[in-house]
């Protein structure tokens, strides 16, 4: 199955979600490949750092431009193909949407991220007229851990106006451990931060019940 982590916004945690998904599957001994289709190479750099450790290996492939046939080929060889793309409207994002099964759209609970949803919906709508299998999910990321802040509820209310998206009830919070493990080639499920492990596992179980 092809799982695209995409949006037209940079810095909303796409690469972080992609590498943590890859680590989660690798830890469970699942057959996973990470496709880095962003010239900034965040995912590929993480895989390089991971190779210096004894953690379960994650295969990584870097491809740019029209990545449809690469993804289709990989889908025949791996159980999970995780795709990380750049944070703007790119050829990689649009072509990947044509063959993906899941599109996970991470967004911060800020108006700047939410403002990009209407245009993204148009792009998804076009993709779905070619790819009836594409299922879009909205995932709140980098949410404040302070429970007094009501941004998460406000963002979820806003997302409800876009019925194209299945809003995930799992929320990924802004936690330093996400940055720390990234620098070590690990995922949070390989850390000892129980809150982060719990929230990431809950997210994965919600997405892949
Ligand atoms: N849940 C999180 N908690 C803390 N820091 C995060 C989290 N998600 C992402 N970051 C940090 O925010 C920055 C942007 O995240 P990144 O995954 O690179 O976004 P994108 O790929 O969408 O541009 C990075 O420095 C990353 O380590
Ligand atoms: Mg990125």
Report pLDDT for 199: 98
Of 24, 33, 70, which Cα lies nearest the Cα of 208? 24
32-36 vs 2-5, strand pairing mode: unpaired
CA of 90 to the centre of ligand 2 (A): 13
For residue 21, give the H/E element and its range: helix 14-27
Ligand 1 binding pocket includes 142 (Cβ within 6 Å): yes
Q: In angstroms, what is the span from residue 150 Cα to ligand 1's centroid?
A: 21
43 lines ligand 1 (CB under 6 A): no
Task: Give the pLDDT of residue 119.
Answer: 94
What structural domains does the chain harbor?
Answer: 2-207 (3.40.50.300)
Residues near ion ligand 2 (CB < 5 Å) are 14-15, 42
Are β-strands 102-107 and 2-5 bridged in parallel, bridged antiparallel, or unpaired? parallel
> Ligand 1 centroid vs 129 CA: distance in angstroms?
31
Give the pLDDT score at 148.
Answer: 76
Helix axes 14-27, 42-51, angle to 10 degrees: 30
Please report which ligand is nearest the Cα atom of 40. 2
Q: What's the confidence (pLDDT) of residue 152?
A: 86
Distance between CA atoms of residues 152 and 140, nearest Å? 8
H or E segment and range at residue 168: strand 166-173
Distance 43 CA to ligand 1 centre (A): 12
Q: What is the reported pLDDT for 113?
A: 85
d(CA 33, CA 171): 24
Who contacts 4 (Cβ-Cβ below 8 Å, separation ≥6)?
Answer: 83, 85, 93, 96, 97, 100, 102, 103, 104
E runs forming strands in 14-162: 32-36, 59-62, 80-84, 102-107, 135-143
Q: Which atom of ligand 1 is nearest to the CA of 141?
A: 1
Q: What distances in angstroms separate CA 82 from CA 56, 76, 95, 127, one per listed residue? A: 16, 13, 14, 18
Regarding the beta carbon of 12 and ligand 1, being less than 6 Å apart is answered yes
* Spans of the chain below 50 pLDDT: none
Q: What is the pLDDT of residue 147?
A: 78
Q: Is the dihedral of CA 205, 23, 4, 155 positive or negative?
A: positive
Atom of ligand 1 nearest to the CA of 172: 1
Enter the tokens of residue 23.
């680590």
């Amino acid at each position: 199955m092809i799982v695209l982590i995409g949006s037209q916004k940079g810095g909303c945690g796409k690469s972080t979600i992609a590498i943590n998904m890859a680590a989660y599957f690798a830890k469970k001994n699942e057959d996973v490949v990470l496709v880095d289709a962003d010239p900034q190479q965040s995912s590929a750099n993480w895989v390089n750092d991971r190779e210096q450790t004894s953690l379960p290996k994650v295969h990584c492939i870097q491809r740019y431009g029209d990545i449809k046939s690469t993804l289709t080929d990989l889908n025949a060889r791996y159980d999970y193909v995780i795709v990380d793309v750049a944070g703007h409207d790119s050829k990689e994002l649009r072509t990947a949407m044509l063959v993906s099964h899941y599109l996970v759209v991470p967004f911060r609970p800020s108006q700047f991220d939410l403002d990009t949803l209407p245009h993204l919906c148009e792009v998804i709508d076009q993709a779905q007229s070619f790819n009836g299998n594409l299922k879009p999910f909205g995932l709140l990321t980098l949410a404040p851990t302070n429970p007094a802040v009501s941004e998460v509820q406000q963002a979820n209310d806003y997302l409800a106006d876009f019925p194209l998206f299945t809003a995930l009830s799992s929320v990924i919070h802004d936690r330093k451990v996400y940055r720390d493990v990234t620098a070590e080639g690990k995922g949070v499920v390989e850390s000892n931060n129980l809150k982060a492990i719990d929230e990431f596992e809950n997210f994965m179980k919600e997405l892949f019940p």
